[in-house]
Structure 1
Amino acid sequence: MKVRVLSIPVQNQDKALKFYTEILGFIKKLDIPLTEDNRWLTVVSKEQLDGPEVLLEPAPKDFEPAKIYQNALFNAGIPCVQFDVESVQAEYDRLTKLNVDFTVRPTDMGAARIAVFNDTCGNLIQIAQLI
């Protein structure tokens, strides 16, 4: 088995696409209309163009249980996904300059350094680096 697509629930696909590409630096891979308001919209890491795709899933706007789950994770301070980075501190510095709101500043957790930020689309995202 391989990971091909992972889903991140987003409240607004256009806003999410802008954040994930313009702020985080991902690249749009697929944008296929499904209904009038929903798309199969994926982004990939510019460092792994053929790697796993992140589906910017519009479920919270159309499926109430997804919205409840997303809100519960966010309110509990639990990230919905983790992205690995070479340097948490460097990404923290870069993203804070772009006005990204961090809920957890760079913190050492045993063999890893982590930080958590708000993706502006209803999720907390954790970045991590092995140290």
Structure 2
Amino acid sequence: MKIHLTSVFVDDQTRAEHFYTRVLGFVKKHDVPLGGADRWLTVVAPDDPEGTELLLEPARHPAVGPYREALVEDGIPLAQFAVDDVAAEYERLSALGVRFTQEPLTAGPVTMAVFDDTCGNLIQIATRAG
């Protein structure tokens, strides 16, 4: 068994597509209209096009709002992405205007930072030493 797809609830799929592709650097994999403004919109890592897909899912379910608000209020990231170098990625994303809620911090063998994805979520980036 392996993880094939996971999702992040987003307020606006168009804004999320821009942020996740043009700012973070993911590549769009699927973009299928679902009726109305909703789409089956997934992105993947550019160096792993057949890898795990991230669904940029419309945040329409009534439970999503309170759930995400509670996570953001408590500073808890909804997802974590692996990067080769947190400090370098922090600098790159900061230069692009990404707002970090936690600067790079080392805790044991992991260095991490947390940013606002502009779509209602906090996302953590992390590098594991060794």
TM-score past 0.5 threshold: yes
- State the 1:51 CA deviation: 0.5
1:51 corresponds to which residue?
A: 51
Moved more, 15-24 or 63-72: 63-72
Q: How many pairs are equivalent?
A: 129
Q: Which amino acid aligns with 1:115?
A: A
1:32 corresponds to which residue?
A: 32
1:77 corresponds to which residue?
A: 75
Which runs of 5 or more residues in structure 1 are unaligned?
Answer: none
Q: Secondary structure at the match of 2:63?
A: helix
- State the 1:70 CA deviation: 1.3
- State the 1:115 CA deviation: 0.3
1:16 corresponds to which residue?
A: 16
Pairing of 1:99-118 with structure 2 (within 5 A) = 99-118=97-116
Tell me the alpha carbon deviations over residues 3-62 of structure 1, each in whole angstroms, 9 at most, x when there is no partner: 11110010000000000000000000000111212111000000211100000010x2x2
Q: Secondary structure at the match of 1:96?
A: helix
The 2-side partners of 1:70 and 1:47 are apart by: 29
- State the 1:97 CA deviation: 0.3
2:61 corresponds to which residue?
A: 63
1:2 corresponds to which residue?
A: 2
1:128 corresponds to which residue?
A: 126
Q: Secondary structure at the match of 2:119?
A: coil
The 1-side partners of 2:35 and 2:71 are apart by: 27
Q: Which amino acid aligns with 1:71?
A: E
The 1-side partners of 2:6 and 2:56 are apart by: 9
Which runs of 5 or more residues in structure 2 are unaligned?
Answer: none
Residue 119 of structure 2 corresponds to residue 98 of structure 1: no
Runs (4 or more) in structure 1 with deviation over 4 Å come to: none
